[in-house]
Structure 1
Amino acid sequence: MTPPRTVPRIVVVGDVAVDVLVEPRSPVVPGADVPARIRTRAGGAGANTAAWLAHLGAEVTLVARVGDDPAGRAAAADLHEAGVRPALSVDPGHPTCAVVVLLADGDRTMLSDRGAAALLAPADLPAFDGADHLHLSGYVLLDRASRAAGLAALARARAAGLSTSVDPQVAPALGPGFVDDVRGVGLLLPNAAELAALGGVAALRDVAGAVAATDGPRAARWTDPHGTWTAHPPPTAVVDPTGAGDAFDAGLLVAWLTGSDPSAALAAGCAAGAAAVGQLGARPAGPPQQPSAVASS
């Protein structure tokens, strides 16, 4: 890993999406017209993490593929406003990724169409010159159409001496193939379901340098060859859990890359995750911090 920096420079490879948030006002009945509150927000796991990283003071480039449509054209402006440098390829034949998020009783169900994001290719990857760290969304590896881009990103990062992290993202899709793809990654960032699908921490000892796992409102846990550390999320009223894991990733990465120990990095991740669930939408509500606001611990 590169030495800790006051302002970490991070490349994120992942999805840009439009989230359609749907809150039914009564139980959903097949064949019925159910009243609901419906809003749209900028989303996508990669873009969410990038926005939170910038919000917390990192220098961030997001690599993604969008459609040649209004959502795709708006994505660059949204990312600029969030403090993220967009490196977006435009796909003329497929729409920008869209996700319908059904919100009920503090939980969510997501219906996803990855669209152009599924066709991210190695040729879409820029040079990683000047970067310190690569963060890869598991969606890229788990889709056969974009897997080559994910593998190429990891290989390029290792060749350039960057540290690496991967968020697995989708528990039901995980298996031995994914484990092989992420072998040698510096940090895995699963939630509890994803960790179980990967066989638990013991099964990952020879796969990743460290595993930092979340478990909803319960303690997050970091495990590496030197030991295990835990941190508890602050009590938070859940408004919308969408993007909580993306925010956790960002909070932890900024702290870790600026020299925090695992316990402090976990606490920073938990604080960012709590901020995410306490608001509507998956990206930070406030303006990004200035780079000088990031300090090593």
Structure 2
Amino acid sequence: MRPPRVVAVGDVAVDVLVEPGSAMITGADVPARIRTRAGGAGANTAAWLAHLGADVTLVARVGDDVAGRAAEADLRAAGVRPALAVDPELPTCTVVVLLADGDRTMLSDRGAAARLAPADLPSLDGADHLHLSGYVLLDPSSRAAGLAALARARDGGLSTSVDPQVAPALGPGFADDVRGVDLLLPNAAELAALGGVAALGDLVGAVAATDGPGAAHWTDRTGTWTARPPDTAVVDATGAGDAFDAGVLVAWLSGAGPQAALEAGCAAGAAAVGRLGARP
């Protein structure tokens, strides 16, 4: 079998990882360990897809800056084919990730990513599947690109998947946008914001939902399957969901059933949390 050919559409970012050495105090100078890593939900998923054996192209928009050029080099080194539009005005997306006890709080400036446009989308000829990051749909300035990507995929006979990504921003409009998607990949908070599995049954083909260290569930019209992630010491939870998405997709697109796809997703998510940074 040839590897599945996936086009991922989403953000490329620079992640600034900040681990405070003590409790945050307003107005004080708090010692911290600070590092930068390649990030962005779309780019992370693409890197994990390539790591797990997929033939993957990433569609994104970056700034005309050092970070954007470095991002392209990083993607190529990870085995991802970059299809990056360059914005002449806005900088490459930057995300500050505050790490504490294995959890994280993210402060995001989407920059050039917010201006992803339908004209930035390449041909989907030869692809099997389109995966879309929810950040693209949830930002009004890039939503048209996300809708266009899904429409082109459906017209071209590709299967589709979407990771919702931001629970507080989800609502009825998002549910309408993902109507007809083959696989939705929410976490527990996102699933609750969308009304639960029952509310999605007539909208999407299947739902593969994570719940942090708890069990993941696949639900479609034929039944429900459950898998638990392996026990792993959490170093950095950033990108765990992106890795889960990739694990599920590579297994599913290669012919695996729901149970095996869930187990592959859980294994990839566990690998992600056991290291610093969001990429393999």
TM over 0.5: yes
Count of residues in Structure 1 that have an aligned counterpart in Structure 2: 280
Matched, 1:29 2:25: yes
Q: Which residue matches 1:221?
A: 217
Q: Deviations over 1:200-240 (max 9, x none)?
A: 00000011000000000110000000000000000000000
Q: Which residue matches 1:20?
A: 16
Matched, 1:76 2:89: no
The secondary structure found in structure 2 opposite 1:237 is coil
Matched, 1:63 2:59: yes
Q: In the alignment, which of 116, 138, 141 is matched to residue 137 of structure 2?
A: 141
Q: Which residue matches 1:275?
A: 271
Q: Deviations over 1:5-52 (max 9, x none)?
A: 541000000000000000000000000000000000000000000000
Q: In the alignment, which of 151, 157, 177 is matched to residue 153 of structure 2?
A: 157
The offset of 1:275, in angstroms, is 0.2
The offset of 1:106, in angstroms, is 1.3
Q: In the alignment, which of 88, 91, 103 is matched to residue 87 of structure 2?
A: 91
Q: Counterparts of 1:187 and 1:105 in 2: how far apart (Å)?
A: 32
Q: Counterparts of 1:143 and 1:152 in 2: how far apart (Å)?
A: 14
Q: Deviations over 1:102-137 (max 9, x none)?
A: 000111000000000000000000000100000000
Q: Counterparts of 1:141 and 1:204 in 2: how far apart (Å)?
A: 17
Root-mean-square deviation over aligned CA pairs = 0.5
Q: In the alignment, which of 36, 40, 44 is matched to residue 36 of structure 2?
A: 40
The secondary structure found in structure 1 opposite 2:277 is coil
Q: Counterparts of 1:225 and 1:206 in 2: how far apart (Å)?
A: 9
Q: Deviations over 1:170-223 (max 9, x none)?
A: 000000000000000000000000000000000000110000000001100000
The offset of 1:153, in angstroms, is 0.1
Q: Mapping of 1:105-254 within 5 angstroms? A: 105-254=101-250
Q: Counterparts of 2:2 and 2:216 in 1: how far apart (Å)?
A: 25
Give percent identity, aligned residues only.
84
The secondary structure found in structure 2 opposite 1:128 is coil
Q: TM-score, normalised by structure 2?
A: 1.00
Greater relative contact order (CA < 8 Å, ≥ 6 in sequence):
1
Matched, 1:102 2:90: no
Q: Deviations over 1:66-112 (max 9, x none)?
A: 00010001111000000000000000100000000000011100000
The secondary structure found in structure 1 opposite 2:210 is strand
Q: Counterparts of 2:189 and 2:99 in 1: how far apart (Å)?
A: 20
Quick one: which amino acid aligns to residue 223 of structure 1?
A: T
Gap regions ≥5 residues in structure 1: 285-297
Structure 1's consecutive aligned runs of 4 or more residues displaced over 3 angstroms after TM superposition are none
Q: TM-score, normalised by structure 1?
A: 0.94
Q: Counterparts of 2:75 and 2:125 in 1: how far apart (Å)?
A: 21
The offset of 1:267, in angstroms, is 0.2
